[in-house]
């Protein structure tokens, strides 16, 4: 089941997503610094922000994959197959 935040992110444009990503990364850096110096009232906020950053990055990557043509996708699968055979 999709979360509300994920559904909201799907409605954003590409520029909005990159702006939101940079804002969330700055917020995460500030929170980690504040937590290291004086501590946070609710340290679980760090987890929420980190997961939001991951959600945004996932949405950006899925849009990149949708924009790829068939040749690029075929090349991508070759790379993935080669990576799997190494391990």
Could you report the per-residue pLDDT of 17-59, keeping only the tens digit for each? 999 999 999 999 999 999 999 999 999 999 999 999 999 999 9
Cα 81 to chain centroid, rounded = 24
Instruction: Tell me how far CA of residue 13 lies from CA of 23, 50, 79, in angstroms.
Output: 15, 21, 29
More confident residue, 46 or 71: 46
Where residue 86 falls among pLDDT bands split at 50, 70, 90? low
- Calculate the average pLDDT of the chain: 88
Domain ranges of the chain: 33-87
What per-residue confidence (pLDDT) applies to 2? 57
Is residue 5 pLDDT above 90, yes or no? no
């Amino acid at each position: 089941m999709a979360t509300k935040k994920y559904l909201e992110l799907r409605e954003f444009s590409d520029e909005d997503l990159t702006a939101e990503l940079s804002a969330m990364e700055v917020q995460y850096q500030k929170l980690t610094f504040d937590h290291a110096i004086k501590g946070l009232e609710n340290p679980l906020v760090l987890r929420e922000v980190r997961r939001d950053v991951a959600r945004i990055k996932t949405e950006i990557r899925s849009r990149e994959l949708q924009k790829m043509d068939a040749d690029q996708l075929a090349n991508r699968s070759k790379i993935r197959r080669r990576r799997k055979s190494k391990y």
